[in-house]
Amino acid sequence: MALKLIRKFAVASLLTLLSSATVSAQTLVFTAIPDEDETKLVERFTGIADYLAGELDVDVRYIPVKSYAAAVSAFRNNQVQLAWFGGLSGVQARELVPGSEAIAQGVEDKAFYTHFIAHKSTGLDEMETLSDELQGKTFTFGSKGSTSGRLIPEYYIRESFEDSPDNVFSRVGFSGNHTRTLRLVEAGTYDVGAINFSVWDKEMENGNIDTDAVKVIWTTPSYPNYQWSVRGDVNEQFGEGFQKRLQEALLAMDDPELLESFPRSGFIPVSNDAYEPIRVVGKQIGIID
């Protein structure tokens, strides 16, 4: 009997050790919407992975995805536990995973903007409101799932012209990301395009825009945008209090190089409620069911 008890205890102890080893070997995996060229994203988020690993004392890995929809799917399927989403993709992802939360946004994301940019050949100048001069031009959005590259610009196009973009413009495209939108309009492939102000400002600062070929003609009112969202079961996977520690690590990020790579001046707390306007607009124009 004593021998059986000893064996039971030994087996239980071994299982406990194996369980502990499994937990400690867990990796926090995260992704981000592909809003810029992949090489830029890999450089940015590899640095974030190293930072979070040091702060949280767990393995952290970044995996790139090819589309906004793929980022949402990875979050839904628990292939990633954390994601850097835009406003729209964040709303979509959190609705698919009960209990998931937006936990941090960039300082600049509280009041984000989209620029409408135009090629010089159009003769378009800066305008206070979207003008009838735009009708009949060619136009490119960014990704179909982008807040700043699709949702918000489409909303204002519909509001201004009381019609869909397909009926306002002679040709409508989706470039896939903001950097590509800039290049397509700069080259004259499209007359006009929608790009978020953050990418425009960064490319301008780096001297990567031919200002003789393309310029900003209109800027939207502000709206909430990018955020870090975490799955609702992250504490179950990584231990009680892990979500709070993760949020604190993101808010404490102050490495100038990491912040510049976004680019953001820092991160601030945020909640799901801040993105209710995005959900409402998404429903209004049929992007969110």
Q: Please check the confidence at residue 7 and state whether its pLDDT lies above 50.
A: no
Q: Please check the confidence at residue 185 and state whether its pLDDT lies above 90.
A: yes
The Cα-based distances of 107 to 25, 93, 218, 225, 253 in angstroms read 33, 22, 23, 10, 12
For residue 11, which phi and psi values (nearest 5 degrees)? -65, -45
pLDDT score recorded for residue 25: 52
pLDDT score recorded for residue 12: 43
Q: Report residue 170 as tokens.
A: 């002679």
Q: Mean pLDDT across the chain, nearest whole number?
A: 90
Confidence band for 284, pLDDT divided at 50, 70 and 90: confident
pLDDT score recorded for residue 19: 39
> Average pLDDT for residues 68-85, to the nearest whole number?
96
* Rounded CA separation 137/112 (Å): 26
State percent of the chain over pLDDT 70: 91
Interval 22-52: pLDDT, tens: 334 589 999 999 977 788 888 889 999 999 9
Q: Please check the confidence at residue 11 and state whether its pLDDT lies above 60.
A: no
User: Is 114 in contact with 159 (CB distance < 8 Å)?
Assistant: no
Q: Does this chain's domain 17-110+224-284 share its CATH topology with 113-219?
A: yes
Assigned fold of 113-219: D-Maltodextrin-Binding Protein; domain 2 (3.40.190)
Count helices and strands in the chain by DSSP H and E runs:
12, 11
Q: Report residue 9 as tokens.
A: 């205890």
**SS3 assignment, position 10:** helix
Domain residues of the chain, as ranges?
A: 17-110+224-284, 113-219
Interval 186-199: pLDDT, tens: 999 999 999 999 99
> Average pLDDT for residues 84-106, to the nearest whole number?
95
Interval 219-266: pLDDT, tens: 999 999 999 999 999 999 999 999 999 999 999 999 999 998 888 999
* Rounded CA separation 236/280 (Å): 31
* CATH number attached to the domain at 17-110+224-284: 3.40.190.10
| Helix H or strand E encompassing 259 | helix 256-260
- Residue bearing the bigger pLDDT, 102 or 282: 102
Extract long-range pairs of 129-137: CB within 8 Å, 24+ residues apart.
129/160, 129/218, 130/156, 130/157, 130/160, 130/161, 130/218, 134/168, 134/169, 134/192, 135/161, 135/168, 135/169, 136/169, 136/170, 137/169, 137/170, 137/191, 137/192
